[in-house]
């Protein structure tokens, strides 16, 4: 009887030891390599933006910061960039869809590391940070202004600061108070009545507004997280100390992230994004206008007079390779949206391009189930993760926000 | 189970024999497990040999010999890169004035290339610069070239595994 008990307890001990072994933070060399590639210390220095000669001019960044927070930069004086890109909220607004002068159809994107993006907005409809910054200024649902009014506003309010950076302002005395090729019918009519030289003058001031705001935004970079401290310790074979130590659940989540759950396929590199566009079967939002993602953005970026091929680019066209070699058509672009960075994601619900999911649990459940796309073909395949595995993935994602 | 064991022990009066029985049963179970694992391993599809990743090969119909190398020697994931496609005839002469189309994708992910690479320059000696290549993720990529030159039209596929 006693011997039987001894045999039983020995086998129980053996089983426990076996189970305990699974929770150890031991990774294969391939896993270690992948984990190291995600750590923030592998983020290269920010490259120069040759299309914006003011990108690293401190006075331009200072003016850009003023403009970023200035509600005067809108039709009714109530909306600035910072209305949706809130400085104390990772430069986003916690809303499913951004609200400026009106309600838009897309989620506000956070700005950490934004200057490293090759494409801007969820669908990549702009190809530079400065061209991006101009777009909400004239969107009737965001800042709802028009470029003639912005040129006058800059001259009246920031003329001296502007001229110290960009040189003399043009003579705007004949330029209508409100005019834009994208505005209301009256604004369009006023724009069309202007001579080409005035179009160029106004567009030049407008482009420089974008370049100043972009110079400011270049300073917004991702911060080190618990994951990065863990990854550095792992890479240097030192035992993670304090909050750099991961729980068994977080380790399981990390292992799934870079393994079975395939998250790292798209969420790769130190920013956890491949900077590309994918259809992952995210459902559309009822009551919002039809949204086909990247496929409709191609024509928009090509038509943008402020794109890299346009006359407002500084430097030479060798900087325009992303635009030059852009995929212009095909099924892959239908309902394809940009892979967002996952840094800080756990602290900024809701998720997806129109705030479709309110929690990370819902996001992970979506990828585990992999429902087909309403249009086009989803690239994700069902994972059938267990409750424990889904919870572990969420636990790991939280380490990117701590 | 425990009750049964107790019964056996009390009936026989000696625990030793019954423990041997358990050990024997354990060994039997272990043997069974090994057997099942063996069957699973033997019947599981053998992992397919990786795709042919040679950087130099004959085109599909044997018209040309094509070589494909990153222009700066290394592949950097996530960056736009130029590669060099070198075309020679079967006799080893450089192929000049070829019209080249580029397509490709990731066969296991069922999607195309994230960029539209193009043959942008002829560098002499049968060498063509293919610019705008970007590998956004690790895995198996394919680049397919359609080649039209004086000798005729042919195609070639290169596999790149990151």
- Looking at chain A, the whole-number percentage of residues with pLDDT higher than 90 is 92
Query: What is the number of structural domains in chain A?
Result: 2
Mean pLDDT along residues B61-76: 96
Do residues A171 and A103 both lie within one domain? yes
* Boundary of a domain, candidates A217, A245, A274: A217
Query: Is A172 within the bounds of a domain?
Result: yes
Give the pLDDT confidence of A263-308 residue by residue, as tens digits: 999 999 999 999 999 999 999 999 999 999 999 999 999 999 999 9
Residue A346: its pLDDT value, please?
98
Query: Is A318 within the bounds of a domain?
Result: no
Query: Is A309 within the bounds of a domain?
Result: no
Scanning every residue of chain B, which has its alpha carbon at the shortest distance from the alpha carbon of A264? B137
Listed in sequence order, the residues at least 6 apart from A73 whose beta carbon sits closer than 8 Å to its beta carbon are A67, A79, A80, A81, A137, A143, A145, A150, A153
pLDDT beyond 50 at B10: no
Distance CA(A290)–CA(A55), nearest Å, equals 35
Model confidence band, residue B31 (pLDDT cutoffs 50, 70, 90): low
Do residues A157 and A271 both lie within one domain? no
Residue A26: its pLDDT value, please?
85
What torsion, rounded to 10 degrees, do the Cα atoms A341, A345, A348, A349 define? 100
Scanning every residue of chain A, which has its alpha carbon at the shortest distance from the alpha carbon of B136? A274
- Looking at chain A, the whole-number percentage of residues with pLDDT higher than 70 is 94
Which of B16, B132, B137 is facing A274, going by the closest CB pair?
B137
Do residues A39 and A90 both lie within one domain? no
Do residues A235 and A257 both lie within one domain? yes
Which of A7, A321, A379 is facing B80, going by the closest CB pair?
A321
Which of A3, A278, A326 is facing B19, going by the closest CB pair?
A3
Q: Do B63 and B90 meet the contact criterion of CB atoms below 8 Å apart?
A: yes
Domain of A105 in residue numbering reads as 58-217
Query: Is A122 within the bounds of a domain?
Result: yes
Model confidence band, residue A1 (pLDDT cutoffs 50, 70, 90): very low
pLDDT beyond 70 at B73: yes
* Closest-CA distance of chain A to residue B30, Å: 13
Model confidence band, residue A149 (pLDDT cutoffs 50, 70, 90): very high
| pTM exceeding the 0.95 threshold for the entire prediction | no
Residue B29: its pLDDT value, please?
73
Do residues A82 and A35 both lie within one domain? no
Model confidence band, residue A175 (pLDDT cutoffs 50, 70, 90): very high
* Boundary of a domain, candidates A185, A217, A249: A217
> How many Å from the N-terminal Cα to the C-terminal Cα in chain B?
54
* Boundary of a domain, candidates A217, A249, A272: A217
Contact status of B131 with chain A (Cβ, < 8 Å) = yes
Do residues A152 and A229 both lie within one domain? no
Which of B22, B110, B136 is facing A276, going by the closest CB pair?
B136
Contact status of B101 with chain A (Cβ, < 8 Å) = no
Give the pLDDT confidence of A359-392 residue by residue, as tens digits: 999 999 999 999 999 999 999 999 999 999 999 9
Query: Is A4 within the bounds of a domain?
Result: no
Model confidence band, residue A67 (pLDDT cutoffs 50, 70, 90): very high
Contact status of B21 with chain A (Cβ, < 8 Å) = no
Give the pLDDT confidence of A225-275 residue by residue, as tens digits: 999 999 999 999 999 889 999 999 999 999 999 999 999 999 999 999 999
Q: Do A268 and B80 touch (CB under 8 A)?
A: no
Q: Do B80 and A328 touch (CB under 8 A)?
A: no
pLDDT beyond 60 at A3: no
* Closest-CA distance of chain B to residue A173, Å: 45
Contact status of B134 with chain A (Cβ, < 8 Å) = yes
Distance CA(A172)–CA(A200), nearest Å, equals 11
Query: Is A298 within the bounds of a domain?
Result: no
Query: Is A213 within the bounds of a domain?
Result: yes
Do residues A85 and A145 both lie within one domain? yes
Contact status of B104 with chain A (Cβ, < 8 Å) = no
Do residues A183 and A244 both lie within one domain? no
Do residues A231 and A255 both lie within one domain? yes
Give the pLDDT confidence of A71-115 residue by residue, as tens digits: 999 999 999 999 999 999 999 999 999 999 999 999 999 999 999
ipTM confidence: 0.88
Do residues A99 and A152 both lie within one domain? yes
- Looking at chain B, the whole-number percentage of residues with pLDDT higher than 90 is 66
Residue B34: its pLDDT value, please?
62
Do residues A142 and A252 both lie within one domain? no
Scanning every residue of chain B, which has its alpha carbon at the shortest distance from the alpha carbon of A7? B19
pLDDT beyond 80 at B162: yes
pLDDT beyond 70 at A349: yes
CATH number at residue A289: 1.10.760.10
Residues of B with CB below 8 A from A326's CB? 115-116
Query: Is A308 within the bounds of a domain?
Result: no
Distance CA(A332)–CA(A339), nearest Å, equals 14
Do residues A181 and A285 both lie within one domain? no
Listed in sequence order, the residues at least 6 apart from A252 whose beta carbon sits closer than 8 Å to its beta carbon are A23, A388, A389, A392, A395, A396
Task: Determine which helix (DSSP H) or strand (DSSP E) holds A161, and give its type and residue range.
Answer: helix A147-166
Contact status of B19 with chain A (Cβ, < 8 Å) = yes
Q: Do B110 and A377 touch (CB under 8 A)?
A: yes
Which of A4, A274, A278 is facing B19, going by the closest CB pair?
A4
């Amino acid at each position: 009887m006693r011997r039987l008990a001894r045999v039983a307890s020995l086998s129980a001990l053996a089983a426990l030891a076996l189970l305990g072994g699974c929770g150890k933070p031991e990774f294969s060399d391939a896993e270690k390599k992948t984990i190291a590639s995600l750590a923030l210390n592998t983020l290269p220095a920010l490259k120069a933006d040759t299309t914006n000669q003011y990108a690293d001019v401190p006075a331009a960044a200072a003016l850009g910061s003023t403009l970023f927070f200035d509600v005067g930069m809108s039709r009714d004086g109530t909306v600035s960039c910072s209305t949706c890109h809130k400085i104390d909220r990772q430069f986003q607004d916690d809303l499913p869809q951004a609200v400026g002068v009106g309600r838009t159809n897309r989620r506000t994107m956070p700005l950490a590391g934004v200057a490293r993006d090759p494409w801007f907005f969820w669908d990549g409809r702009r190809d530079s940070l400065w061209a991006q910054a101009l777009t909400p200024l004239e969107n009737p649902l965001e800042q709802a202004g028009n470029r003639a009014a912005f040129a006058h506003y800059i001259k009246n309010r920031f003329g001296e600061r502007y001229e110290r950076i960009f040189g003399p302002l043009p003579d705007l005395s004949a330029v209508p108070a409100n005019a834009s090729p994208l505005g209301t019918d009256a604004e369009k009519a006023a724009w069309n009545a202007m001579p080409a030289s005035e179009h160029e003058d106004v567009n030049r001031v407008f482009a420089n507004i974008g370049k100043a705001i972009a110079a400011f935004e270049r300073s917004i970079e991702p911060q080190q997280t618990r994951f990065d401290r863990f990854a550095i310790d792992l890479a240097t074979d030192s035992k993670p100390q304090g909050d750099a130590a991961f729980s068994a659940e977080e380790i399981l989540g990390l292992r799934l992230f870079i393994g079975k759950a395939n998250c790292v396929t798209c969420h790769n590199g130190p920013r956890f994004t491949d900077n590309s566009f994918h259809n992952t079967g995210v459902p559309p939002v009822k009551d919002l206008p039809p949204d086909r993602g990247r496929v409709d953005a191609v024509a928009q970026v090509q038509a943008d007079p402020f794109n890299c091929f346009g006359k407002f680019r500084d430097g030479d066209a060798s900087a325009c390779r992303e635009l030059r070699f852009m995929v212009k058509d095909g099924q892959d672009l239908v309902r394809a949206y940009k892979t967002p960075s996952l840094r800080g994601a756990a602290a900024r619900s809701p998720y997806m391009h129109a705030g479709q999911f309110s929690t990370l649990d819902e996001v992970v459940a979506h990828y585990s189930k992999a429902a087909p796309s309403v249009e086009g073909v989803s690239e994700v395949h069902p994972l059938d993760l267990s409750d424990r595995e889904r919870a572990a993935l969420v636990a790991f994602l939280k380490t990117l926000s701590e | 189970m425990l009750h049964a064991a107790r019964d056996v022990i009390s009936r026989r009066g000696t625990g030793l024999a019954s423990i041997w029985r358990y050990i024997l049963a354990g060994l039997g179970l272990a043997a069974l497990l090994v057997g099942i694992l063996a069957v699973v391993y033997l019947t599981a599809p053998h992992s397919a040999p990786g795709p042919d990743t040679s950087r130099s090969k004959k085109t599909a119909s044997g018209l040309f010999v094509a070589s494909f190398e990153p222009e700066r020697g290394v592949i950097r994931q996530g960056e736009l890169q130029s590669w060099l496609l070198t075309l020679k005839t079967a006799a080893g002469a450089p192929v000049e004035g070829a019209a080249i189309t580029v397509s490709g994708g990731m066969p296991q992910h069922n999607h195309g290339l994230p960029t539209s690479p193009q043959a942008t320059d002829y560098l002499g000696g049968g060498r063509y610069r293919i610019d705008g290549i970007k590998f956004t993720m690790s895995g198996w990529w394919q680049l397919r070239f359609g080649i039209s030159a004086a000798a005729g039209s042919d195609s070639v596929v290169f596999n790149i595994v990151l």
